[in-house]
Every structure is written in C-alpha cells, then in structure tokens.
Amino acid sequence: MFKKSEKSLFEVINKYLSKKGHEIVMSIFLSDYNGHDIYIRFDYVKKLSVYKIVWFDLNFIDLKHLDEYINQQIVTKYIALQLVDKIITNNRESSYALNDDIKGDRVEVLFYKENNVTEFVFDRFLPIDWAFLIDPFALVFSYLPRSMEIILNEVFAIFDGTEARFNALKPIKFDLINGNDDEIFRAKDILEGTKYYENDRVEFLEKIDNHYLAIIEEAKPYLVNIREDDDGYVFMWCNCKQVGYCKHIYAALLAIRDKKIKNFYKVGYIGKDESLLEKVMSGKFFLCFGIEEDRLLLITSESMIFKADIMVDGKRVFEVIEDDDDCSLSKALERYK
C-alpha cells in the first residue's frame, strides 16, 4: 500500500503536470479506498485550451517515468465548463466529515480558485448534506475506467441507502472479547445467535494466525470468518444472505469468547488431477468439515465452501491429515476405497 508519509509524491506529480502546462482546477485523492490509492485531477491546459481528467494509480507508479504512468482524457468543453462553474460559485468553507470507526476509505476533494484552495474530506461515504459534490464526482468518474464505478457507488451509498451493504464488508473498530454487542448486532440476531451457540450449532471453530473460521450448522452449514487486526479493527463476515452482522457471526463470537475451539479436519489432496487442485486452492491441505453425498466439504483459501469429489476415476483422491479424537473422518472415509 501507498505510504502517506510520501508527501513529496504529490509535489513531484504536480510539478510534472505544471511543466506540461496543466493548471489544476480540482483534485480528488482516494486514500486506501478499498485498498486503492488514486490521485485524480481535473485540469485546464491553456496552450491547448482544453480541460482534462488526469489520474495516477499511486500503488503502481514510478516517479522517474511519469510519462508511462499518467492516464488522461480530454473532457467535452461544455461539460467541463459546467463543472468549472460549480467550483467557482461554490462558497463553502473547507469541511471535514471524518469517522474514527472507518479504517482507510478516505476521500479528499480540493477545489482550486485563483490562489484559494478549499478542502472537503470525508471517510467512505459522501455526507448527505454535501450533495454539491455529486455532479463533480459523477463527471470525473465517467472519465475513469469502468472498474472504478464500484468505488463511486460506494461513495454515493448514503444517497442510495446502501451503506449497510458496503459496511458489512469492511473492518470495524470492535473489541472481540469485551465489545458492546448491542452497537453492531440487532437484538434479534443476539437472541438467535445465543440460542445457536447454546444448542452447539457452532460445529467447528479454529484460529489460524489472526483469523477465526467457524461453521454454524443450520438447515445448511454457514461459514463465518472473523479476522482480528493489530490496530483494534475486526473484520467479520458470513456467507449467509443477511446484510450486516448476522446470528451466525454472533454464535461464533460467543464460542470465541468461551474459547470453544473445535478444529477442522485437515485433508490432503493425493490425486493427480492438478487442475482440480488449482481450482480448490494452492496450499497443500484443506480445512474440511464433513462429507455430503460422496463429496468432502472443504474451505478454500478465499474462505469459500467447496465440495470436492472424494473419488475420481475409482480412486480416492484425499487423505486425512488431521482428524478429531474419535477419528470420525477417517472412519467415514473407510468406505471409499
């Protein structure tokens, strides 16, 4: 990731562009936004009498060869002038809508008017009373690659009422052991999650590095993934359909607090079909949580459930590396010969 301390980076880029005759009108800096560090400028190039959108991906940049890393598009004059007008007539003072609970996802917008710079900084979502930035964002992003649309949708989420969907996929500041559950879980999910936990529905729970993986057994198994970062942020995710923090995550959380570890089975792939191996994951062994219809229930390195045939061409292609105390998996696999 791009390091913020490298302030000179912007200086180098700005110097390079001003040498090319670019006058800056507006800039947008996406800082660690979904892991992206993108510096975008809306510039006027006097000698050509054109407006341009210029952008740099700061994670892939070589300051000595900026010519190779610059991305630029000429903006239709009529549209460009509308944006210029918006910036010139904007009388707002610099404003900051920062949120400590958000890790990364910072957006810094700068308006340049003569020698005045006005700054608007927010975390993840454009605040509801900053609608004046909607048009500038929409215009700038229409000149960026399609893949950036995801970020634009996220920036506008409050206006679309979709924040919960984006927040659910992000780390939050939360103490796994002593955190205030009511702040992030709905009462209904706390109640049902507690029931799941008390009825031993947390079938598996294992900690790998700073990562907990759990299987919560319902009509079908749900996979919960909880990652604890060093800086007090926690990422919690479940593969069920609910948006946000669900009862499965809550059940896993209670099991973590009570240290109710129940390791997954580990199986190794011994077949020769390398393409299958590639499909599942690149590691040597897989976490496994059972058998269903002649298939092993595995977890991939991307934390997805994957069902793999136990037998290929009449041969068993998995061996047990780690079993439970009763050797349940080995026994169940005996009938596959």
Q: What is the binding site for Zn ion (CB under 5 A)?
A: 238, 240, 246, 248
Element of type H or E holding 177? none
Please report how close the Cβ of residue 250 comes to Zn ion at its closest, in angstroms: 9
Closer residue to Zn ion in complex, CB, 17/252: 252
Please report how close the Cβ of residue 166 comes to Zn ion at its closest, in angstroms: 17
Grouping H, G, I as helix, E, B as strand and the rest as coil, residue 334 is coil
Please report how close the Cβ of residue 186 comes to Zn ion at its closest, in angstroms: 12
Please report how close the Cβ of residue 248 comes to Zn ion at its closest, in angstroms: 3
Between CA 263 and CA 316 the distance in angstroms is: 23
Between CA 272 and CA 213 the distance in angstroms is: 28
Closer residue to Zn ion in complex, CB, 13/238: 238
Please report how close the Cβ of residue 185 comes to Zn ion at its closest, in angstroms: 11
Closer residue to Zn ion in complex, CB, 32/206: 206
Q: Which residues of 226-260 are buried (b: 16+ CB within 10 A; e: fewer)?
A: bbbeeeebbbbbbebeeeebbbbbbbbbbbbeeee
Closer residue to Zn ion in complex, CB, 131/164: 164
Please report how close the Cβ of residue 41 comes to Zn ion at its closest, in angstroms: 42
Q: Residues 149, 141: contact at Cβ < 8 Å?
A: yes
Please report how close the Cβ of residue 240 comes to Zn ion at its closest, in angstroms: 3
Q: 40: buried, middle or exposed (CB in 10 Å: 19+, 13-18, 0-12)?
A: buried
Please report how close the Cβ of residue 209 comes to Zn ion at its closest, in angstroms: 22
Closer residue to Zn ion in complex, CB, 32/192: 192
Residue with structure tokens 């949580």? 289
Element of type H or E holding 60? none
Listed residue (102, 106, 92, 86) closest to 38, CA to CA:
106
Closer residue to Zn ion in complex, CB, 25/246: 246
Closer residue to Zn ion in complex, CB, 220/337: 220
Between CA 22 and CA 87 the distance in angstroms is: 17
Closer residue to Zn ion in complex, CB, 240/311: 240
Please report how close the Cβ of residue 251 comes to Zn ion at its closest, in angstroms: 9
Phi, psi of 319 (to 5 degrees): -125, 150
Tokens of 19: 């040498």
Region of 91 (left: φ > 0; alpha: ψ -120 to 50; beta: rest) is: alpha
Closer residue to Zn ion in complex, CB, 75/297: 297
301 Cβ contact partners less than 8 Å away, ≥ 6 residues apart:
281, 282, 283
Residue with structure tokens 């229409």? 142
Q: Residues 97, 130: contact at Cβ < 8 Å?
A: yes
